[in-house]
Amino acid sequence: MDAINLKQPELYINRELSMLEFNRRVIEQAKDTTVPLLERLRFLCIASTNLDEFFEIRVSGLNQQVKYGSVQTGSDNLPPAEVLNRISRLAHELVADQYRVLNEILIPELADKQIRILRRKSWRPKLSRWVKRYFNRELLPVLSPIGLDPAHPFPRVLNKNLYFIVSLEGKDAFGRDSGYAIVQAPRSLPRIIPVPKEQATGQYDFILLSSIIHAHVDDLFPGMKTTGCYQFRVTRDSDLFVDDEEVDDLLRALEGELPSRRFSDAVRLEVADNCPPDITNFLLHHFGLNENALYQVNGPVNLNRLLAIHDLVNRPDLIYPGFIPELPRRLVKHTNIFETLRNGDILLYHPFQSFVPVIDFLRQAAADASVLSIKQTLYRTGNDSAVVEVLKEAARAGKEVTVVIELRARFDEEANIELASNLQEAGAHVVYGVVGYKTHAKMILVIRREGRQLRRYVHLGTGNYHARTARLYTDYGLLTCDNAIGEDVNKLFLQLTGLGRASKLKKLLQSPFTMHKSMMSYIQYETKCAMEGREAKIIAKMNALVDPEITRALYEASRAGVKIELIIRGICCLRPGVPDISENIQVRSIVGRFLEHTRVFYFFHGGEEIIICSSADWMQRNFFHRVETCFPIEEKRPRDQIIKFGLINYLSDNTQAWLLQADGTYKKIKPGSNKPRSAQEACLEQYCQ
């Protein structure tokens, strides 16, 4: 092959812009008429939540780089200031599209189904009187309007909370006439308020809390004239800083940092689109933002709140049909999970297969007198976690329970601090992993005495121990008592809880030590096979591909003739379809009912067909700054299951798949004359009732 510079910036897509392209695909789900109506509303809300986090973390980080004069660039060589400009253009397009979809498509279609969000101009006298009573009873006692004057400076505005800026005329009882006041919407009250059936004219009528405040804002300023009332919301930098070199107690350090998230630097200002320029400029100046950070919207400034309608409306015909996840036959026939695993591994494919066996695995371990210890990593668990309750029961029963909790799981820090305290009170040993490295590996280790020997039973997963997301995310979990895997997992827990050098592992790959090197080696072996004229193939499914070395290795493999199929839900910095470089690479994204979260890597490997599942994406942070695990799938039945339903099935999807183009945009695949095929629907048909 002729030498080509594979580091040239044109070969790499900017990761932030790629993330926004993913959000575009989510918004497209809200337009898809084949998706149930309330689910389309949910997708629109998810897009809003995604944008919130994008600004809180990614945009805030770029702002910091610009603030301190950093010229650091990624593989695409775009300086931070230019990335921010491009983000602003694309994000404004996406937000405008979101509100267009809401106002012109979803609200009218919901109204046709007797689900209405009532604007003030449509309120009839009877409803207006009810709203007035609701305002006086629920809102007026808890509202605290703040007039802006020297004695009342601009209040501290909470991250992502709803506020109103009110313009006023006249003087109050003390002769003050500042002109502006700030009203905070109470966080304790719902943003979507169902109208009682006595006042409603349709099956499901709702009023926004913001509409009620707008309608009665005059009551907050008696004797004065309100000349305008405009909702606004500020998004702030939410990336917590903990100095890894100086910290002595990670839990205490995070507890000290969490309050700062509410009042850190502003990164975005959302205001109603009817807000006059003088007021928007006043707000921009106060929060230290430029016009690129201003988003004027025709509707609620926080679309996420509309998600409540999905739960408040009982219309099964407007949501995805329910399903009962499959319980593997072997677990139906044999309820003793330890006995079952001694006869072979069990691979679970969530949400199509039940998460219950994972809880039962822990529950049986907690109740079994032969079980000596349970060790587990926890990254995200959710409220009222059955997993956590079982761990507490095991600790109270005298088992040696050790839990590695990642306190820095983004936006779950507070919940994980409370979780750590609860487990410690129950008698569990709680550690926080390794300072400087997030513990993202998903592992359970149960040690059981069986005769004269101790046997290790293991669960390894691609997703979190979170029962709710196990019904919403696609993930793999492996239950096994393989000796080598058990030894490897035991060594990993010793690393996380103790001190010492990394031990050599027999079957698992581990970040930050062996995973990146091994993945490079697998890719390079396929390249070697292709150059020798042998069959070579790579299929990789993950959430994100960012690492530049892996990307260059894939380019080299493609140039050698390796057929490469990538199924990447979100960020992809690799540019497919570039002549002489990536012509043999195809990248697709599946966006559907379930969030694609499995990480599976297939290498033909000279006919050996290696299949590896992982907790890690192909990103620098996963390879070098986290504790991650990759685990092989070796038994024939689960291997065949992954190849057929977890990979080939997704490569044949022609209804929910998007192909990445060389210019960084995505094009949706259409069935055309072929039979429509959805990978997720095929899995539901295969596994579920």
What 3-state class would DSSP assign to 535? coil
In Å, how far are 88, 202, 295 from 267, measured between CA atoms?
11, 40, 11
The residues that bridge with 349 in the sheet, in sequence order, are 476
In Å, how far are 31, 209, 380 from 103, measured between CA atoms?
12, 18, 35
Closest CA to 439 of 577, 587, 627, 218: 627
Cβ neighbors of 466 (< 8 A, separation 6 or more) are 380, 381, 382, 385
Largest CA distance in the chain: 90
d(CA 456, CA 659): 43
d(CA 98, CA 88): 15
* Residue 316 near residue 441 (C-beta atoms within 8 A): no
Closest CA to 433 of 452, 450, 416, 453: 416
* Residue 667 near residue 658 (C-beta atoms within 8 A): yes
DSSP percent split of the chain into helix, strand, coil, nearest 5: 40, 20, 35
**CA atoms lying within 13 Å on the CB side of residue 688:** 18
Look at the block and give the residue holding tokens 């189904």: 113
Of 216, 350, 440, 597, the catalytic one is 440
Query: In the numeric block, which tokens belong to residue 425?
Result: 């009170």
* Residue 434 near residue 496 (C-beta atoms within 8 A): yes
Closest CA to 386 of 406, 359, 404, 367: 359
Dihedral of CA 26/270/259/624: which sign? positive
d(CA 107, CA 116): 7
d(CA 681, CA 128): 46
* Residue 187 near residue 163 (C-beta atoms within 8 A): no
Would you call 440 a catalytic residue per the annotation? yes
Q: What is the DSSP letter of 276?
A: -
Q: Which of the residues are catalytic?
A: 440
